[in-house]
Amino acid sequence: MAEILNEGNIWHLRNEWISYALMELPGGVLAHLYAGPRLQRLNPVGLMRRHGVDAEAFTVQECALDRLPQEYPSFGLGDMREGALTVEAPDGSCAVDLRLVCAEILDAKPALEGLPATRGEGCAAARFHLRDAHTGLEVELNYAVYDDCAALVRSARLVNRGEAPLVVERAYSLCLDLPDADWDLITLSGSWARERAVHRRPLVAGFQGVSTQRGASSLQTSPFMALARHEATEASGDVLGMALIYSGNFIARAEAVCTGGTRLLMGLNDRDFAWRLEPGEAFTTPEAALVVSTAGVGGMSRAFHTLWENHLLPKRWMGAERPVLLNSWEAAYFDFDEDKLLAIAEATADAGAKLFVMDDGWFGHRDDDTTSLGDWQTDLRKLPSGLKALGERVRALGIGFGIWMEPEMVSPDSDLYRAHPDWCLHIPGREGITARHQLVLDLGREDVQEFVYTAVADTLKESGAAYLKWDMNRNFSNIGSAALPANRQKETAHRYILGLYAVLGRLTADFPDVLFEGCSSGGGRFDAGMFYYVPQFWCSDDTDALMRCEIQYGTTLVFPPSTMGCHVSAVPNHQTSRVIPMATRFAVALGGSFGYELDPRRLTDEEREAMRGQIVFANATQQLRLYGAFYRLRSPFEGNDTAWMSVSPERDEALFTYVRNRAVPNVLPPLVKLRGLDALRRYRVVETGEVYGGDELMTVGLSCPVPSLGSGDAWSVMYTLKGEDEA
Ligand code: DGJ
C-alpha cells in the first residue's frame, strides 16, 4: 500500500517498491532527499551528505544552493545549474526563491485542470505549498504514489498571489538531483517510419537529453528518459524512468554537474513559450511520472505499463476486447469508390475480422493529399449513397464500421479555409508555410474547438462508426494565434494542446463506446498524454515486420502492447519493398492491437485461409498479448534477432515470439532464456508438445527449431506455453 509518512521536517512517500523523500531545511528551502528503491528508514544527514550538504548547518549564503538537491529550483540565486522554474517579475528579474509554507497529506489525488493525468484511485497524495515573497508567486507541488507499481507522479501549479502580472518563462514538471553521474542515459529517437529507436550511452559532463519544438511529442523523439546503472541490463540492475503525460513540446534533460552529481529535468519545452499570469490566475504543468526499477529496463517498462494500464488509459477499454480490424489505407489509398470499399469490407467480414476502417479520401474532393481537410462532408462522387448508408451496408456484413479523420488540420484548398483563414496558426503579414499541403488549425481557440468537436461528432453520428482514427500529419510553423494579444503569443502552442485535450475529453465522454485510435504520420504523438483519451495509437506508418520489430521494441520501453496499433500488410512492403513471409508479418503484428492493412481480395486462397486462422488465434490470445506482463528477450538493436513474450497474471500461460532478421547458415539453433514464468511449474509448448520446467526455460532457455536452409530472411517462430500441474 502507498503511504506518506511525515516526521518533523521530513516527508517520505513510499509503497512496496519505491521511496521518495523531501526535507525542509532551515529557512524553509524544500530539499530533495531521496528517490529510489523503498527504504525502511531514512537518515537525512547521510542522505544529504551524499551531495556535500550539511543539512543541519544549511543556509543559502555562499551559494550553498549550488549543491543542494532541490525539489523545484530556480536559476539566479546561487544555484548555477539549470532550474525548473523561471518567472519574470514586474521588475524584470527572473529568479524565484521558493520557501515552504506548509505541506498537506491529501485524502484524494486532485485532477489536473485541463490536463490528462493519472487517476485518483489507489494512491496516496501530498501537496507542498511554497511561496516567493518577492513576487507573491505561490507554487503547489503535487505528488502521488500508487499502491500497485513502482511509480510516483508529480506536477506543479503556479498561482499569482501578487498584485502585478507575472510571466512564466519556464515551468517544468520534474526535477531530480542525484548524488552521482554513474549512469547510462536511455532515450527514444527516430523519424517517420523509424520511430522510437532505443539510444543508450553513458552520461558525460554537461547537458544531454531530448526535446521537441514541433508542436507534438513527435516522430523524432518521445517524452521519456531513463537512467540505468552502467551494469544494468534488460533484466537486472537499477533504472530510473521518467515520462511526461503531455503531447506537445517537451524537454527532458540530464545535466552531469562538476561536483559529480546529476540534475534531471523534464517538462514543457520553454522554447518559444511564455505564459502570462494576471493576479489571481493559475498555471498547471503537465504531470510527470517517475518509475524506479531494480529489475533492469524490463522492470521499468512493466512499472510504466501498470501505471498507464491501471491509472491512465480510458477505463472503458482496459482489459476490453480490441476488435481485429482492416484499414483501407494501404489497400486503396485515395483510389476507391463505394463498390470497392464494400468489396474489401465483405472480404474483411469473410476472413473473420470485426471492423472495417475507411481511411483518408472519403470527404470533400480529396483525391490526393492536396485538398479538402476541414470540409468533412462526404464526397458523393466516390460514395454516392452517402456515409450513413455506407456505414449501414458495412454493418449489414456483420462487422463494425470505422472512419478516418484529421480534425486538427485545414487545407488551403477548402471551404473551411476560405471562410475562416484566421482559424489556422499564423503570423499576420508572413506567408503561411504548408506541409503535406496543409495548415494547422488553431485549437487554442474556443470557436475552433467547437468546430472540430461538431465535425467529429456529426461524422460519428452520421456514419454510426464504432471506431475513429484521429490523425495529425504535420509539425507546427508560423506559430501565432489571431485570438491572442501580442503579449500572449508564446502561449499558442500550449493552448493548442489544452484545446486538443478539451475536444478529445468531450468527444470520448460523449461517445464512450467508440474506439478512438490516435495517429500522427504513424507514431508521431505516441505519448502518455494521448493515452488518457485514446487506448491505442497507430505505432508507425512503417508496416515492414523487421522495421516493426525495432519500432515496437522501443515503444514497449514505456507503453504496453495494447497501446500499439499493429497491422499485417501486403508484400512487397510499401515502405521498404521487402518481401517478408506472412507468418512473420503476423507474428510481429500480434505484438499489439492487431489488424490488417491490405486488400484481402488480392491474397491467394492459401493466404486468405491463413488469415482466417490468424484472426482466430489473435482473438484467442488477445488478453494474454495485450494485457499480460511483457518481457523483452532479445533486442533488434543489439543483434540479428528480436524476441519477446507475454505472461498471464497467474503465470499459467505465455506467448513467446522469436524473429530472426537475416538467414545465417550452419549455426546452432536460437536459444532464448524466457522470463516471468513460475520457476517451480512445468510448461507444455503447445505447438511441439515438449514439456519443460519453468526454471529450465528461464535458466537454460527455450531452444527454437533450427530454421531449415531454405527458410530465408525474417524467419519467425511463435510458441504458446501452458502451465501444467505435476501428474
Ligand atoms: C498518415 C497515417 O499515418 C496513415 O496511416 C494514413 O492514415 C494517412 N495519414 C492518410 O492520409
3-state secondary structure 587-627: HHHCCCEEEEECCHHHCCHHHHHHHHHHHHHHHHCHHHHHH
CA–centroid distance, 579 to ligand 1, in Å, is 22
Cβ 537 under 6 angstroms from ligand 1: no
Q: Identify whether 471 is a catalytic site residue.
A: yes
Q: What is the largest CA-CA distance in the chain?
A: 81
Q: Look at residue 4 in the predicted model and tell me its pLDDT.
A: 98
In the set 471, 527, 544, 599, the catalytic residue is 471
CA–centroid distance, 435 to ligand 1, in Å, is 14
List the grid coordinates of 284. Answer: 498547471
CB of 244 within 8 A of CB of 210?
Answer: no
List the grid coordinates of 616. Answer: 482466430
Cβ 472 under 6 angstroms from ligand 1: no
CA–centroid distance, 524 to ligand 1, in Å, is 11
CB of 123 within 8 A of CB of 104?
Answer: no
CA–centroid distance, 34 to ligand 1, in Å, is 45
- The span from the CA of 386 to the CA of 700, in Å, is 60
Q: Look at residue 727 in the predicted model and tell me its pLDDT.
A: 60
Q: Look at residue 370 in the predicted model and tell me its pLDDT.
A: 98
CA–centroid distance, 473 to ligand 1, in Å, is 8
Pocket test for ligand 1, best of 326, 438, 471, 543 (most atoms within 8 A of CB): 471
Atom of ligand 1 nearest to the CA of 519: 3
Is there a shared CATH topology between the 3-312 domain and the 324-626 domain?
Answer: no
Atom of ligand 1 nearest to the CA of 541: 3
Q: Which long-range contacts (CB under 8 A, 24 or more apart) does 359-363 make?
A: 359/327, 359/328, 359/329, 359/332, 359/404, 359/469, 360/329, 360/333, 360/334, 360/404, 360/406, 360/471, 361/332, 361/333, 361/334, 361/335, 361/336, 362/387, 362/403, 362/404
43 HSE (CA, 13 A, CB side): 5
Residue 558 sits at the vertex; the CA angle it makes with 556 and 564, to the nearest 5 degrees, is 50
Sheet with 653-660, strands from edge to edge, namely 629-634, 641-647, 653-660, 715-724, 682-685, 691-693
CA–centroid distance, 491 to ligand 1, in Å, is 29
CA–centroid distance, 490 to ligand 1, in Å, is 30
Pocket test for ligand 1, best of 192, 328, 359, 597 (most atoms within 8 A of CB): 359
Cβ 597 under 6 angstroms from ligand 1: no
- The span from the CA of 354 to the CA of 372, in Å, is 30
Residue nearest atom 11 in ligand 1 by C-alpha distance: 360
Q: What residue type is 117 in one-letter code?
A: A
Domain segments of the chain: what residues?
A: 3-312, 324-626, 632-726
Cβ 359 under 6 angstroms from ligand 1: yes
Q: Look at residue 88 in the predicted model and tell me its pLDDT.
A: 98
Cβ 471 under 6 angstroms from ligand 1: yes
Determine the straight-line distance between the first and last CA of the chain, rounded to whole angstroms: 38
Residue nearest atom 1 in ligand 1 by C-alpha distance: 521
Q: Look at residue 688 in the predicted model and tell me its pLDDT.
A: 94
CA–centroid distance, 541 to ligand 1, in Å, is 7
Q: Look at residue 56 in the predicted model and tell me its pLDDT.
A: 86
Residue nearest atom 9 in ligand 1 by C-alpha distance: 521
CATH of 324-626, one of 3.30.465.10, 3.20.20.70, 3.40.920.10, 3.60.10.10: 3.20.20.70
Pocket test for ligand 1, best of 473, 475, 516 (most atoms within 8 A of CB): 473
- The span from the CA of 75 to the CA of 542, in Å, is 43
CA–centroid distance, 522 to ligand 1, in Å, is 7
Q: Residue 572, preceding bond cis, omega within 30 degrees?
A: yes
pTM of the model: 0.98
Cβ 75 under 6 angstroms from ligand 1: no
Residue nearest atom 10 in ligand 1 by C-alpha distance: 360
Cβ 519 under 6 angstroms from ligand 1: yes
The segments of the chain whose pLDDT lies below 70 read: 727
Atom of ligand 1 nearest to the CA of 359: 7
Pocket test for ligand 1, best of 328, 519, 596 (most atoms within 8 A of CB): 519
CB of 307 within 8 A of CB of 15?
Answer: no
For residue 218, which phi and psi values (nearest 5 degrees)?
90, 155
Cβ 542 under 6 angstroms from ligand 1: no
Q: Look at residue 62 in the predicted model and tell me its pLDDT.
A: 84
- The span from the CA of 189 to the CA of 194, in Å, is 9
CA–centroid distance, 272 to ligand 1, in Å, is 29
Q: Minimal CA–CA distance to 437: which of 455, 424, 427, 451?
A: 424
Pocket test for ligand 1, best of 194, 329, 406 (most atoms within 8 A of CB): 329
- The span from the CA of 173 to the CA of 279, in Å, is 22
List the grid coordinates of 585. Answer: 508479418
Q: Identify whether 369 is a catalytic site residue.
A: no
CATH for the stretch 3-312: 2.70.98.60
Cβ 522 under 6 angstroms from ligand 1: yes
- The span from the CA of 717 to the CA of 694, in Å, is 19
CATH for the stretch 632-726: 2.60.40.1180
CB of 337 within 8 A of CB of 382?
Answer: yes
